Amino acid sequence: MAQFSFRRIIPSAFAVLAAASMSAGASAADLGGNCCADLEERIAELEATTARKDNRKVSLTVSGYVAQEVTWWDDGGESNVYLHGLGPTQASHVKFTGEAKISPGWTAGYAIRIQNLSDNPFGRNASTGVAMNQFNSEYNQGLNVQMSYWYLQSKDLGKVSIGRQANAAKSAAMFTDQSGTQIFDNYTFLSGFPQFIIRSGGNLTPANLTWGQLGFCYSQGTPLGGDCDGLVMNAVRYDSPVFAGFSASASWAEDDDWEIAARYSGQLNGFKVSLGVGYSVNTSENIAVPLPAGSKKDSNFFQAGGYVEHMATGLFVHGAYGREDNSNTLLPGSVTPPDSNHWYVKSGIRKKWTPLGATIVYGDFAEYNDQLGPGALALGATSSTLHRYGGGIAQEIDAAAMTVYLKYQRYDADVEGLSPTVGKLDSADFVSTGALINF
């Protein structure tokens, strides 16, 4: 992360000028009249590597990360290797932020985040026939402006933000994970492959029975798995000041999404603790991938999560839970999706065993119950249980603000109500290695 300001550059330039003038007086004859050539070259180089902005009252900070991974997969009948990003919300991106002081205790600021979704493995728009699955190794959405908002903040009264942003309860449970592995391994399909078709006896039929159809979130019309409130929207959000580690948030997004959340972060008796809880009500059929025409949506989602790390030993545990109430949601044909729930546990050790940085070794397990999407319901499914388990190892490289990792995931599922011709569902295995470098 780098912050650019001409107020830092100008004193340096004067220092270079002063040094050059002293050396010029001592060796002007040797330079043959070209005493300033080296100085001009250095100034030109400085100008070429400096981010410019016209408004000196508002700061500019450029940050982000680049993340890519290689995945070997085996769906029970075929295996292959794909190269891809971590999209959509965890994808490689660049972020521009800044703020200005209005008066003591009052600031104004902005944020713009642009993502690279040219190799998005999430592939959430399966209805178009273009998704990353066994038939297609790419799902290209190009560049995407994920966030763009401004805010006003008071030290004593809190912050109000307006624009495309994370809503109040977005990822309240998932973001409590402080292990250093949350971005590339969590309980959502953001770090998985929801459009992969589930094999049955080695066959890829029916084609609309995908892993994501057993981890579907009606709150945002997307096969997120866990974290059914994980997308950004145009919204108005309020965040309270932080009191003794506690804070609260509320937001409204079009059309319509209401959310509240509370969070805590701190240290207690030698333990690092992070907690989050959120509740949302969503009535928009057109968020993310629209529900089928004629649908009526009124889905409520509750989530809670926490992280505890013993700072002396590095042992940690992270847990998350979510429940979605779909009793007032109606699909075509008078079909009401079942209420659903999911839970997740990740545990391991985070320790600095080498000078490079912390090493994280962990295992995790997730269960998704009755998260049946429209495609699964259309096939007659009445209940389901999806299990995802695995683990990995990650090495942080402090000198490069980088993390390299290796992880394993296995999917297993049981579904009731499908035609007897479908048969027993096969498992799928995914082994990924990749890296993330911050700037």
> Is 42 in contact with 15 (CB distance < 8 Å)?
no
| Tally of CB atoms within 10 A around 234 | 15
The per-residue pLDDT for 11 is 44
CA-based nearest residue to 214, from 191, 231, 198: 198
**218: enclosing H helix or E strand:** none
Cβ within 8 Å of residue 139, ≥6 positions away: 119, 120, 121, 122, 123, 130, 131, 132, 195
Question: In percent, how much of the chain has pLDDT > 90?
Answer: 69
Give the confidence band of 53 by pLDDT, cuts at 50, 70, 90.
low
The DSSP letter of residue 127 is G
Cβ within 8 Å of residue 83, ≥6 positions away: 68, 69, 70, 71, 119, 137
| Tally of CB atoms within 10 A around 292 | 13
367 φ/ψ angles, rounded to the nearest 5 degrees: -130, 130
The per-residue pLDDT for 289 is 74
> Is 80 in contact with 50 (CB distance < 8 Å)?
no
> Is 410 in contact with 75 (CB distance < 8 Å)?
no
The 10 Å CB-count burial string (b at 16+, else e) for 40-70 is: eeeeeeeeeeeeeeeeeeebbbeebbbbbbe
* pLDDT tens track for 133-190: 888 887 778 888 999 999 999 999 999 999 999 999 999 999 999 999 999 999 999 8
Task: Answer left, alpha or beta for residue 232, where phi above 0 means left and psi between -120 and 50 means alpha.
Answer: beta
Give the confidence band of 234 by pLDDT, cuts at 50, 70, 90.
very high
The per-residue pLDDT for 48 is 60
Question: In percent, how much of the chain has pLDDT > 70?
Answer: 88
**273: enclosing H helix or E strand:** strand 271-282
The per-residue pLDDT for 14 is 39
Q: CA-to-CA distance for 423 and 209, rounded, in angstroms?
A: 13
> Is 431 in contact with 185 (CB distance < 8 Å)?
no
Q: Residue 116: pLDDT above 70?
A: yes
Q: CA-to-CA distance for 238 and 253, rounded, in angstroms?
A: 12
The residues with which 4 forms a beta bridge, in sequence order, are 60
Q: CA-to-CA distance for 389 and 430, rounded, in angstroms?
A: 11
The per-residue pLDDT for 128 is 56
CA-based nearest residue to 410, from 376, 363, 369, 360: 363
For the chain, what is the mean pLDDT?
88
Distances (CA, A) of 169 to 18, 177, 237: 55, 15, 10
Q: Residue 4: pLDDT above 60?
A: no
The per-residue pLDDT for 7 is 39
* pLDDT tens track for 399-432: 999 999 999 999 999 999 998 878 889 999 999 9
Give the confidence band of 2 by pLDDT, cuts at 50, 70, 90.
very low
CA-based nearest residue to 179, from 53, 350, 321: 350
